[in-house]
């Protein structure tokens, strides 16, 4: 379980170090004069100073609950008006639901609360945790599962096998560790996706539940 903002920075830094795409001519460089560890600390300080209402989600949030995730970026649920409070984040692309930017060499992705599910996660599925003596808003297990499930139909349509596998493994890890009420979460997701997508997600969850059950039996749990 992550206990400090420096830990988040080190996760981001280590993920970048072990990604060969970030190496040029046998060397690894970050934004001039900065390291991910320091950049992450400064970003959280800005969020607090500007009174930004955010929820930390994505791979970093997942690492608070389960081990083994590797990620180079930060993901936040945030309102567009709060994003405007962070001019230091250089936005590269944006649509109605998402924005992607860069802060001192660290990629930052934003899930915008114009999307009703993202807004619901921000309002109902966030917990306060301690990072370096300050309160940080973190997505709950249920909130992270809702976001993963919501993303899956789009990833399947895009044929993004790598991310589908990653997201389904994330879901499996959370289901194994916390045994959430998946039927209730599917009912919630059903309010935001079409009937066909709801049925597909139900089938995916059933397959994951079978995997989890098989693994527990193998361990003798």
Its pTM stands at 0.85
Cβ–Cβ under 8 Å, residues 174 and 145: yes
Tokens representing 106 are 């660290």
Q: Do 18 and 126 share a structural domain?
A: yes
Which of 98, 118, 139 finishes a domain? Answer: 139
State the CB neighbour count (10 A cutoff) for residue 47. 21
Total structural domains within the chain = 2
Give 140's DSSP letter.
-
- Short-list 49, 13, 10, CA closest to 134: 49
Q: Do 85 and 180 share a structural domain?
A: no
Q: Do 108 and 13 share a structural domain?
A: yes
Q: Do 147 and 135 share a structural domain?
A: no
Residue 91's φ and ψ, nearest 5 degrees, are: -80, 125
Which residues span the domain enclosing 157? 143-219
Per-residue tens of pLDDT for the chain, all 221 residues: 554 544 665 666 555 543 434 434 444 344 555 577 778 888 989 999 999 999 999 988 888 888 766 666 889 999 999 999 999 999 999 999 999 999 988 889 999 999 999 999 999 999 998 754 457 899 999 999 999 999 999 999 999 999 999 999 999 999 999 999 999 999 999 999 999 999 999 999 999 999 999 988 877 76
Q: Do 135 and 28 share a structural domain?
A: yes
Which of 105, 139, 173 finishes a domain? Answer: 139
Which of 139, 174, 207 finishes a domain? Answer: 139
């Amino acid at each position: 379980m992550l206990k400090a903002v420096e830990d988040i920075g080190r996760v981001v830094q280590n993920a970048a170090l072990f990604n060969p795409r970030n190496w040029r001519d046998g060397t690894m460089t970050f934004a001039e004069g900065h390291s991910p560890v320091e950049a992450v600390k400064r970003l959280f300080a800005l969020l607090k100073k500007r009174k930004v209402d955010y929820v930390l989600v994505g791979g970093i949030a997942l690492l608070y609950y389960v081990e083994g995730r590797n990620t180079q970026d930060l993901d936040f649920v945030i309102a567009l008006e709060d994003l405007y409070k962070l001019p230091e984040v250089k936005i590269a692309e944006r649509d109605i639901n998402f924005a992607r930017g860069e802060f001192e060499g660290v990629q930052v992705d934003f899930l915008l609360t114009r999307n009703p599910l993202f807004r619901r996660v921000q309002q109902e599925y966030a917990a306060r945790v301690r990072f370096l003596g300050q309160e940080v808003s973190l997505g709950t297990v249920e909130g992270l599962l809702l976001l993963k499930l919501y993303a899956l139909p789009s990833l399947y349509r895009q044929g993004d096998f790598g991310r589908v596998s990653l997201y389904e493994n994330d879901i499996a890890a959370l289901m194994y560790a916390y045994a959430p009420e998946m039927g209730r979460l599917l009912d919630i997701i059903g309010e935001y996706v079409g009937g066909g997508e709801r049925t597909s997600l139900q089938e995916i969850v059933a397959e994951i539940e079978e995997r989890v059950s098989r693994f527990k039996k193998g361990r003798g749990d």
